[in-house]
Amino acid sequence: MKNTYETPFNSRYASKEMQELFSPDMKFKTWRRLWIALAEAEKELGLNITDEQIDELKRFKDEINYDLAELKEKEFRHDVMAHIHAYGELCPGAKGIIHLGATSCYVGDNTDIIIMNEALKLVRKKLAAVIGKLTEFAVIYKDLPTLGFTHFQPAQLVTVGKRACLWIQDLLLDLEELDFVIGSMKLLGNKGTTGTQASFLSLFDGDNEKVKKSEEIIAQKLGFDKVFAVSGQTYTRKLDSRILNVLSSIAQSAYKFGNDIRLLQNLKEVEEPFEKNQIGSSAMAYKRNPMRTERICALSRYVIVDALNPAITASTQWFERTLDDSANKRISIPEGFLAVDAILNLYINVSNGLVVYPKVIEKHLMEELPFMATENILMEAVKRGGDRQELHERIRIHSMEAAKKVKEEGRKNDLIERIAQDKAFGLSLDELMSVLEPKNYIGRAPQQVEEFINGSVKPVLEASTGLDVEVSINV
């Protein structure tokens, strides 16, 4: 029986691949990669470091001796020094050159950047998969008329596919922002205790070019082509804020989608997937609750609020650094990524299995369509010699009476029948019913879907290789 707290992101929500990125193994193995890169750069630039020492460091780079590191941290009250000693125990020949010239943020901050960069790429992959699945859905239902809603009140018709394009458009904006953040990621480099690189300048006997070159070599070895030009001891915490802001943006889009599906499920027009043996309610066996989209909304709300953490941290840092960022960021950054990972996993699942009920959609729109058709009816009656102002007033009166019957007596909308019986219009019931063709009231919705997908979505998906979800976007 488990008797200690475990984050739900690990036990219930986030994927194994995202959990592994923020695992202790990933963190401490990356520390060792950074120590190796530092030693290699220093050797290449002339410091007295041997191939044998570097080979020894590489031999033990993935063997993290946690027990010793934990003992050393209790002794030193310093996690980086604890792991330097633990690594040194495994590599006695290289012990003296580990972390040479560096400060703790060399491994701590650079590792955070490396891990966040990989996590952003994973988020991008899943975001593109969601876009792909929603695109398939939009194509299938691009011509299916449905009631539009403004203020959650019936409005002019749209199509089910056109509505899906609104969700996709939000995600495309998120993807643009995400690509910008990924494209602007930089390592901290090796800046030293206050960002002046004084220790490295001393190591290289005052040779500025070698200090600058060492950063270039380290960045290249870790897969980066840029480092921050200036810093304090840490990279600017604005980077964390920028990253959580894009995660928040994704969460906002997911929340909008989740809310829309929850409302549509109440209307019985569109439902999230429901498994054969799934239980909707422990008390009400007939219920099919929108559990997954509710979870999307719940986790999205967490991420939106979580984005305040790095924003406050970035704004309250003192001069070259304070340590009140550390405890906060080691919670807010990983948990933000784990939450967005969970949101996107759910989003992929739901968008891949949305259930549409065309007959219910048709029933709802036909209940409201007579009101929306009155302009067309008015024009047709005027063409036949009717007085526009007189007919407009008659339609207003008939509409009020029909609405009263619907709202107060629960009867069907009989507006068309009322107009057919009014000789001032000169239109038979059959003629009026021919006006009530839903496709006459959807405007350019199908064309907008095609134009949007071909012009805006396809190029993005075609450039997004390696999607886990198979995507078919033929229009």
Structure tokens at 312: 């406050």
Q: What span, in angstroms and rounded, lies between the C-alpha atoms of 312 and 325?
A: 9
DSSP conformational letter for 280: S
Q: What span, in angstroms and rounded, lies between the C-alpha atoms of 160 and 162?
A: 6
Q: How many CB atoms lie within 10 A of CB 64?
A: 20
The bridge status of strand 153-159 relative to strand 355-356 is unpaired
- E strands within 270-323? 270-271
SS3 314: helix
Q: Position 271: which residue type? A: E
From the candidates 202, 281, 428, 472, which is the catalytic residue?
Answer: 281
Q: Position 348: which residue type? A: I
What residue has token string 């991008």?
Answer: 124
What residue has token string 């549509």?
Answer: 264
Give the side-chain half-sphere CA count within 13 A for 123. Answer: 33
Are the CB atoms for 440 and 376 separated by under 8 Å? Answer: yes
151 is a catalytic site residue: yes
CA dihedral 307, 310, 312, 318 (to 10 degrees): -170
Q: Which residues contact 118 (CB under 8 A, 6 or more apart)?
A: 21
Q: Which residues make beta-bridge pairs with 261?
A: none
Q: How many CB atoms lie within 10 A of CB 185?
A: 18
Are the CB atoms for 415 and 398 separated by under 8 Å? Answer: yes
Helix 388-409 and helix 374-383, axial crossing angle in degrees, nearest 10: 150
Smallest CA-to-CA distance from 398 within 419, 368, 381, 374 is with 419
Structure tokens at 472: 């078919």
CA dihedral 171, 176, 178, 180 (to 10 degrees): -170
What residue has token string 């840029």?
Answer: 226
Are the CB atoms for 382 and 391 separated by under 8 Å? Answer: yes
What are phi and psi for residue 26, nearest 5 degrees?
A: -60, -45
456 is a catalytic site residue: no
Catalytic residues: 151, 281
